[in-house]
Copies of this chain bind each other. A is one copy, B any other.
Amino acid sequence: MQIAILLFDGITALDAIGPYEALWRVEGYQVEFVAPEVGLKRTRHGLGLQAERALAELPAPEVIVIPGGAGVEAQLGDPRVTDWIRRAHQTTRWTTSVCTGALLLGAAGILEGRRATTHWLSHARLADYGAEPVGARVVEDGKVMTAAGVSAGIDLGLTLVSRLAGPRAAQAAQLSMEYDPEPPFGTGSPRRAPRELVALVRARAAAGQRPAPDDGDGAVSA
């Protein structure tokens, strides 16, 4: 089983690592990190991830995983990326995305008429690509599987292992990852978080800023 995970500058690391951590845990599964050119791709905050293979080396993986992050915007205009996604999709068993990686599937024409999800801050943009935005953590439509923001890639990864290798293998991967989450707060979804917290995160993201510590400017009021 050959699985390709796309990397690019400005990626959100967990979008890629969540699915990776589930998928490599099946014997015989080979995960490759790919980009238009081999080399280090960097998050905006200090981490370099190595793309070991060029897209042209892997024209037809059985599974593709397209992560998101602020860097997606630049990728939307790079035909090397969108053409590769479009062509690979013709022969994949599963075409998948995490977070705003869904916008790249959209730009490759894959979401037209499909149900899909993405990070809650970008949900409305799915309609730009003819998709029907669905408020769910993992959405399957045919062989296209999309996940909500960032950490939802773990749920997608385990669901994908279940579809590819069977529920027993996925249950073993989940146990091996000790994925029995205990989120410290109830604020992981905009449907459950207080309205002013949602407004704060939205405003800071729009300004290209991160929330400050509680005793810092801009943290405790939206």
Q: Which of A165, A173, A181 has the most CB of B within 10 A?
A: A181
Which A195-220 residues have a C-beta within 8 angstroms of B?
Answer: 197-198, 200-201, 204-205, 209-216, 218-220
Partner of A151, one of B181, B204, B213, B215: B181
Partner of A155, one of B149, B182, B187, B205: B182
A174 and B170 contact, Cβ closer than 8 Å, known pairs A13-B20, A27-B213, A210-B26: no
Q: Is A188 located at the chain interface by the 8 A CB criterion? A: yes
Q: Is A91 located at the chain interface by the 8 A CB criterion? A: no
Count of chain A residues with Cβ under 8 Å from any Cβ of B? 86
Binds B, one of A54-62, A75-83, A106-114, A156-164: A156-164
| 0/1 interface trace, chain A 28-57, chain B, CB 8 Å (1 if under) | 111111000000100101111110100000
With a CB–CB cut-off of 8 A, which chain B residues contact A185?
A: 158, 167, 170-171, 174
Q: Are B215 and A166 neighbours in the complex by a CB distance under 8 Å?
A: yes
Q: Are A214 and B167 neighbours in the complex by a CB distance under 8 Å?
A: yes
Q: How far is the CA of A13 from the CA of B177 in the complex (A)?
A: 11
A178 and B193 contact, Cβ closer than 8 Å, known pairs A17-B17, A48-B50: no
Q: Are B49 and A20 neighbours in the complex by a CB distance under 8 Å?
A: no
With a CB–CB cut-off of 8 A, which chain B residues contact A46?
A: 24, 30-33, 52
Nearest CB of B to A196, in Å: 10
